[in-house]
Amino acid sequence: MLAGAPATNEDGPSACGEIPFSMSDLAYFDYALVLPEERYLIEVQVGNPATGVTRRNDELENLAKDALITVVGQGRDDLAEKLKPTPINESDAKNLTKVQQLLSGPDCAVYLVE
């Protein structure tokens, strides 16, 4: 910048006005089992990768539940009614330590966390 030239911010957000922020493309869900003691983090793509359309909350919850059933309940038909993953915010999800990735797909991922 030249001496005496007015300050500008051509490379970034305005220094005044709105505070810029970026929203995550993921919705987060938490689920804990008592026996065996295990805790899961389910990350679900908010936008449908095939269409780009933003999913409704019930769609996100169904994807999370289906992913959780795939991970913990293969062969148990009663799990769809019993498993209820809890939505959590991104900062709470970031505080969990991912131990192992159990499922990965275009719509979601499931991690064993602590």
Query: With a cut of 70, which residues of the chain have pLDDT below it?
Result: 1-23, 35, 74-78
Which pLDDT score is estimated for 37?
A: 83
Which pLDDT score is estimated for 32?
A: 86
Which pLDDT score is estimated for 23?
A: 53
The token pair that represents 98 in the structure block: 């991912």
Are the beta carbons of 45 and 26 closer than 8 angstroms? Answer: yes
| % residues pLDDT > 90 (the chain) | 41
pLDDT, tens digit (0-9, with 9 covering 90-100), for 51-78: 889 999 999 999 999 899 888 875 556 6
Which pLDDT score is estimated for 99?
A: 95
- d(CA 58, CA 63) in angstroms, rounded, equals 9
If DSSP codes are grouped into helix, strand and coil, which group holds residue 64?
Answer: helix
* Phi then psi dihedrals of residue 104, to 5 deg: -140, 135
